[in-house]
Amino acid sequence: MADSSPFVDRPSRAQSKHGSPFRRISFNSNNGGGATNNDPTYDELKSQINSLNYLISDLKNQVELGKIESEQKINELTKELSQQHLKNDNISSDQVFLYNQNKELQSKLTHVNENFTEEREKYENEIRTLKTDLFNYKKQYDEVQSESKYKLSQVEQEQHNNQAQIQNLNQLNTELSNELDAKNDLINKLKLKFNEQNTTIEKLNSDLMSIPSRDEIASVETIKKQLSEQISYIQELEMKNLTQAEQIKKLTLNKQNVEILKEEKASLTKKLGKIDELNDTINDLNLQVLNLQQENSKWKVYLNEDDDVKIEEFVKNFKLIKDENILLKGNFNKVDTELKSFKNTYNELFITHETLNKNSQALTKSYSNLEKLNNEIEQQKNLAFEESNFLREQLKNLDQELSLNEDDKNKYIRNLEGLVDEYKNKINELTKQIPKDSSSNKRQRTEDDENDEDTTRNFQKSVSRLEDENFQLNNKFSKLLNENSVLLKKIESFQDIKEKKIRILQLRNNPYSNDQFIKKELIDTLTKENNDLLNKTPLGETIPKSIYDRSQLENQALERKIHDLNKRIQRLREIFSAKSLEFIDAVYSLIGFKLEFLPSNKIKLISKYVKNDKNCLLIDPVKQTFKTSKDNDEDDEFFQTCDTLIDFWIKEKNDIPSFLAALNLELFEKQQSREQQV
């Protein structure tokens, strides 16, 4: 760096028109004294100016070094930026690849959904056909039921009419049989009389043949008349007998018809019982259909309305989709981890990029500050140069002003010293400001950079965390929406099926409807009884048949109640036996004693460790007695152990649980010793 100071001695420099700048200057005073360039004030000024020039050159060197460093940093930052751009391009290409993969997966999903919809349509068509078949079956069943009810009502009416006719015919039959018996008696009597008269006629004929006379002829004629009358009467009786026989034949035919009708009634009642069974089976089938509809509605909830799906194909496709989903989940997790790592690297690079930008901005600011300082130093240098020129001119003028006083010269020197001190102070201030500004800028820069890096890192972390949370919440929200729609559809289908189930269950073995039917039947029989009693005539039957029917209905109701009570008692017995077996098993597993409840209100206790089940304890809780029983004389050991333990635990301690525990322990130890001996 060239020295631009006018006070530095440069011999190679050309002489000016005034001569050498370092010519000897003499100060003339009044007393004839002179001042040369060996004056100490001049040397000090010269040294100060040289130091100032050195400082200026040093500052210029520092500024140039700062420029070079800033250029190097800018180059490094540009390289890092280019690398970061390359990484960003790679990340964007990866994102494009993931986007394409997602598109392919979505296309596969749409294809699967289309297949799923086709299968669901088939399934729905099958369900529709089943529904139509069920509807037709229901129609047929209703028609058959209505026809059977109509036929039953007709048969019941015919039966009622036939029973009335049978009763009337039975009455007529009894009357006619009585009349026939009476007439048969008369006929027999008349036959006897006829035979007697025949004998008398024969006698008379024989007598007439022997002695004919007028009186006898008259008597014979009268007898003949009487006989002819009796014969005509007998013929009338025979005609009546024939008519009555025909009536009896008709009555027997009617009786046979009544028996046939009774048989038909029995067969119809059997058919009615079968119809009830068929009703139960139909209700069971309806319940099965409703369960199938419920399952179908469960499928429909997860499918579209136009889908027709077979279950086998659906399960196969579901398994395939499940396997594909597992693979895709694995790939997605890998890609997700890679994406997260890329995000982290991107965030770190972004942070470094931001820090480098901030550093470059700080460097540009420091460079601008240095340029400003350099400009100020240049201005100060120019001012110093101008001041030096001004001083040079004044020194030139000093030779001419030798006649000045010593006081004026001292004042002038003081002024120059003051100017030099001012320049020194300014230079010192500037030199102090440069490191302070640089250090403060560096400190501020480092602190700001650290704070900015921390904030950006925290911000990036929070952004990534919030993105993950948002993604998870969106997934949860979509899942909850789907579940909500599915549950709403389920509720609608369940409500419809529940109403149908309630209706079927009401139709099937409904105790309320059965009770209402019995009440209605009772009311009908009572009304009939009342009408019969009101319409009863004194010549008719003594007791109306409706009273008998009503009593039969009451008996049937009582029989039903007895049957229900027997059923309930049987169920309770079964439950009690099952629960008592569970209780006995629990006691046997916990305490080690098998309980048996004897019919004589006694309890039999058999230990778990006894060889023979006949070696047991008998407890009578009513009489409060405690006995031991053994199978034979070989079991005296069991008897002795029981006696010793009874004497101690029951007679002395009055503690049955401890006795039972001690007995089990004794028997267990004896069993173990026996096994060891074996």
Distance CA 226, CA 99 (A): 137
320 and 394 assigned to the same domain:
yes
Give the SS3 label for residue 156. helix
607 and 561 assigned to the same domain:
no
Mean pLDDT, residues 417-433 taken together = 68
Q: How many domains does the chain have?
A: 3
User: Does residue 611 form part of some domain?
Assistant: yes
Q: What value does the mean pLDDT of the chain take?
A: 72
Ramachandran angles phi, psi of 29, nearest 5°: -110, 180
State both tokens at 60. Answer: 């210029």
600 and 585 assigned to the same domain:
no
| Residue showing tokens 């009467």 | 233
Quick one: pLDDT at residue 519? 77
User: Does residue 11 form part of some domain?
Assistant: no
Among the candidates 368, 383, 403, a domain finishes at 403
Which DSSP helix (H) or strand (E) runs through 607?
strand 603-607
User: Does residue 90 form part of some domain?
Assistant: no
State both tokens at 35. Answer: 């001042």
532 and 596 assigned to the same domain:
no
| Residue showing tokens 């109701």 | 557
Quick one: pLDDT at residue 108? 72
Distance CA 283, CA 287 (A): 6
Mean pLDDT, residues 526-549 taken together = 68
> Is pLDDT at 649 greater than 80 in this prediction?
yes
| Of the listed ranges 29-38, 234-243, 362-371, 525-534, the one predicted with least confidence | 29-38
520 and 547 assigned to the same domain:
yes
Mean pLDDT, residues 549-572 taken together = 85
Query: 512 falls in which pLDDT band (50, 70, 90)?
Result: low
Mean pLDDT, residues 65-82 taken together = 77
Tell whether the torsion through CA atoms of 109, 111, 112 and 117 is positive or negative: positive
| Residue showing tokens 């300082």 | 373
Distance CA 36, CA 398 (A): 11
> Is pLDDT at 265 greater than 70 in this prediction?
yes
Mean pLDDT, residues 193-217 taken together = 66
107 exposure class (CB count in 10 Å sphere: 0-12, 13-18, 19+): exposed
Ramachandran angles phi, psi of 117, nearest 5°: -65, -40
Among the candidates 380, 403, 426, a domain finishes at 403
> Is pLDDT at 285 greater than 70 in this prediction?
yes
User: Does residue 393 form part of some domain?
Assistant: yes
Mean pLDDT, residues 551-579 taken together = 86
Structural domain boundaries enclosing 550:
512-591
581 and 616 assigned to the same domain:
no
Q: State the angle between helix axes of 406-507 and 311-400 in degrees (0 to 180), rounded to the nearest 10.
A: 170
574 and 606 assigned to the same domain:
no
User: Does residue 74 form part of some domain?
Assistant: no
Mean pLDDT, residues 567-591 taken together = 87
529 and 549 assigned to the same domain:
yes
State both tokens at 589. Answer: 């597993």
663 and 604 assigned to the same domain:
yes
Q: What is the DSSP letter of 597?
A: E
What CA–CA distances, in Å, run from 61 to 64, 67, 155? 5, 10, 134
629 and 582 assigned to the same domain:
no
> Is pLDDT at 428 greater than 60 in this prediction?
yes
> Is pLDDT at 452 greater than 70 in this prediction?
no
Mean pLDDT, residues 546-561 taken together = 80
For 117-145, b/e burial (b = at least 16 CB within 10 A) is: bbbbbebbeebeeeeeeeeeeeeeeeeee
Cβ–Cβ < 8 Å for 617, 605:
yes
The pLDDT tens digits for 319-369 are: 788 788 888 888 888 887 887 778 778 777 777 777 777 777 878 887 777
531 and 583 assigned to the same domain:
yes
Neighbouring-strand partners of residue 595: 605
Quick one: pLDDT at residue 72? 79
575 and 538 assigned to the same domain:
yes
CATH code assigned at 622 = 3.30.457.60
The DSSP-derived string for 623-644 is TTEEEEE-SSGGGHHHHHHHHH
The pLDDT tens digits for 469-505 are: 887 888 778 778 877 777 777 777 666 666 666 655 5
Instruction: For the chain, give the percent of residues with pLDDT over 70.
Output: 70
Side chain identity, residue 250: K
User: Does residue 30 form part of some domain?
Assistant: no
The DSSP-derived string for 460-522 is HHHHHHHHHHHHHHHHHHHHHHHHHHHHHHHHHHHHHHHHHHHHHHHHSS-HHHHHHHHHHHH
> Is pLDDT at 560 greater than 80 in this prediction?
yes
Mean pLDDT, residues 303-307 taken together = 56
User: Does residue 352 form part of some domain?
Assistant: yes
Quick one: pLDDT at residue 655? 84
Distance CA 664, CA 610 (A): 9
Distance CA 234, CA 257 (A): 34
User: Does residue 519 form part of some domain?
Assistant: yes
What CA–CA distances, in Å, run from 226 to 187, 203, 215? 16, 17, 16
Quick one: pLDDT at residue 552? 80
Q: Around Cβ 632, how many Cβ atoms within 10 Å?
A: 9
The pLDDT tens digits for 23-66 are: 333 333 334 444 344 455 667 777 777 777 777 777 777 777 87
Q: Around Cβ 42, how many Cβ atoms within 10 Å?
A: 17
